[in-house]
Structure 1
Amino acid sequence: MEIKKSAIAGTLESSDAQVVVDPGENGIELTIQSSVINQFGPQIKAVVLETLQRLGVTSGKIAIVDRGALDCTIKARVECAVYRSNDQVDNLPWGGAIQ
């Protein structure tokens, strides 16, 4: 799946994450802002990259603003933003094809 247009998912509330995806041509360009980057930065990055890989996304600009979100929340926000970038709103494989 490719990122066709800019899309956003999530909020800037505590325990959430805001994910913005934009089209890109040079692989995955990931930017992470987090109040817990020193403790959990590598884990946040791993969750995002794994989710993108499972979705088949090979290029794009991904910006994450984390406010202490759990892994499952980050994964859901990334999935949602990618699906929105493709205008895919029906018959989404939540919890099925994407694990």
Structure 2
Amino acid sequence: MEVKGTAMAGTLESSDAQVTVEPGTGIELSIESSVINQYGKKIRATVLETLERLEVKDAKVTVVDKGALDCTLKARVEGAVFRASGYSEDVICAGKKLPWGGAIQ
């Protein structure tokens, strides 16, 4: 999926994460978290796995984590990427049309 613009998903509330995605060269990931020492590797892995699944090759991604669970991080990354790519019901990823409002695996 190609990142065409800048987009954000999430909040800075407790147990959430704010993810910003913008065009870049390669994957550039920046993480800010109060639990970076305990969960930094897992946060990084979750974000990178989600980007890989969405076939994002070039993007600058900034994550401000406030204790979000993995499922929340995945949802925030997906939301920001879809918005930044101009997501519509016609987006094709891994040879399949992505479901709007459906279960993305």
Q: TM > 0.5 between the two? A: yes
Distance 2:74 2:82 in 1: 12
Cα RMSD, aligned residues only: 1.3
Figure out how many residues of one structure are paired with residues of the other and give that number. Answer: 96
User: Any idea what SS the aligned residue of 1:33 has?
Assistant: strand
Unaligned ranges ≥5, structure 2: 90-98
Deviation at 1:88?
A: 1.3
Find out whether 1:47 has 2:55 as its counterpart: no
Q: Normalising by structure 2, report the TM-score.
A: 0.86
Identity, in percent, stands at: 60
Deviation at 1:21?
A: 0.3
Q: Normalising by structure 1, report the TM-score.
A: 0.91
Deviation at 1:93?
A: 6.6
In structure 2, relative to structure 1, the CA distance for the partners of 1:11 and 1:89 (3 Å cut) is farther
Find out whether 1:31 has 2:39 as its counterpart: no
- In the other structure, the counterpart of 1:92 is 100
Moved over 4 A (4+): none
Unaligned ranges ≥5, structure 1: none
- In the other structure, the counterpart of 1:65 is 64
Q: What amino acid maps onto 1:54 in structure 2? A: R
Structure with max Cα Rg: 2
- In the other structure, the counterpart of 2:93 is none
